[in-house]
Amino acid sequence: MISTQKLVWPLLALVAIAQSAALFDMVYARDRLLKSGQEVTLAVKPLDPRDIFRGDYVTLGYDISTLTKSTTETDPDFTGFSVGAPAYVTLASGPDGKWAETHVGSRYPSKVAPGEAVIKGRVKQVWQDGNNAVTNVIVRYGIETYFIPEGTGRALEDKVRSHEVKAIVAVAADGTAALKGLIVDGERHEDPPLL
């Protein structure tokens, strides 16, 4: 610990302010993303039901979590996709209100139609399906975890099984995505913004 007592208080204040500012910046950036980001709703598909509700958060799976060759037009062989690399998925809202991918690429797409949203993810796994030589890519977007109060996991698990659950996702202009809340049977569950 510092021995010069004259400097103790200013230095302590500097450290406390710097750490508080870093935390505030984290809150502010997230809050802005939730407020200003383009809103996209994605259908939640349960993974292995036993595995989903570990502890006090829910792991959510999406259709765009697993991309196969047939789901993409322009980057058909997933060239440029390696584990840890970014993946950009363009989403468009269909006539039934369902959002689905229209383009997958390892770089930000050059053309984005109005109303479309580009979501950025990180490649988690790439593998070849042996029988029909299909390349599969697992992508994580940072919207796969939904924290819930202690002990309420079981009830939510039943809901995901028997009801239609959608995730509300805010997407920033650069593709960063944030999970806003869940829609269970058309009912929005969402925390109000902090700031």
Partner 1 sequence: MWSPYKNRLKRDLERWQSNGWVSGEGRAAILADVESSGREFGLAPALGILASVLFGFAAISFVAAHWEDMPRLGRLLLLLATIWAGYGAAGWLVVRGHPLLADAAILFSSGMFGASIMLISQMYNISGNPSDGVLMWWIGTLFAGAMLRSNPALAFAMVLVCTWSFFETSEKNGVHWAFLIGWALVTAAFIWQRWRPGLHLSALALAMFVISLGYQLSGGHQHGLVAVIGGLAAAAAVAMEKLEPDLDAKLDHIAAPLFAYALAVAFAGLFARQFLVVPPLVDLIALAAIALVLILAAIAYALSTGNRGALWIGYIGFSAEILTLYGVTVGSILGTSLFFLVAAIIVSFLAYVALRLARQSAGRGRPA
Q: What are the residues binding partner 1 (CB under 8 A)?
A: 1-3, 5, 8-9, 11-16, 18-20, 22-23, 26-27, 30, 34, 55-57, 83-84, 122, 124, 140-150, 178-179, 191, 194
- Give the shortest CB-41-to-partner 1 separation in angstroms: 15
- Give the shortest CB-122-to-partner 1 separation in angstroms: 7
Cα torsion angle, 143, 149, 152, 153, sign: positive
The two tokens of residue 10 are 């200013």
Of the candidates 145, 168, 165, 141, which has an alpha carbon nearest to the alpha carbon of residue 37? 168
Nearer to partner 1, 149 or 186 (CB): 149
Phi/psi at 22 (5° precision)? -65, -40
- Give the shortest CB-146-to-partner 1 separation in angstroms: 5
Q: Which residues of 67-93 are buried (b: 16+ CB within 10 A; e: fewer)?
A: bebebbeebeebeebeeeebbbbbbbe
- Give the shortest CB-89-to-partner 1 separation in angstroms: 15
65: DSSP letter: G
Nearer to partner 1, 104 or 182 (CB): 182
- Give the shortest CB-31-to-partner 1 separation in angstroms: 8
Nearer to partner 1, 16 or 134 (CB): 16
E strands, the chain, in order: 38-45, 57-59, 61-62, 66-68, 86-93, 99-105, 117-129, 134-140, 145-147, 165-171, 177-184, 187-190
Nearer to partner 1, 21 or 173 (CB): 21
Length of the chain: 195
Nearer to partner 1, 12 or 113 (CB): 12
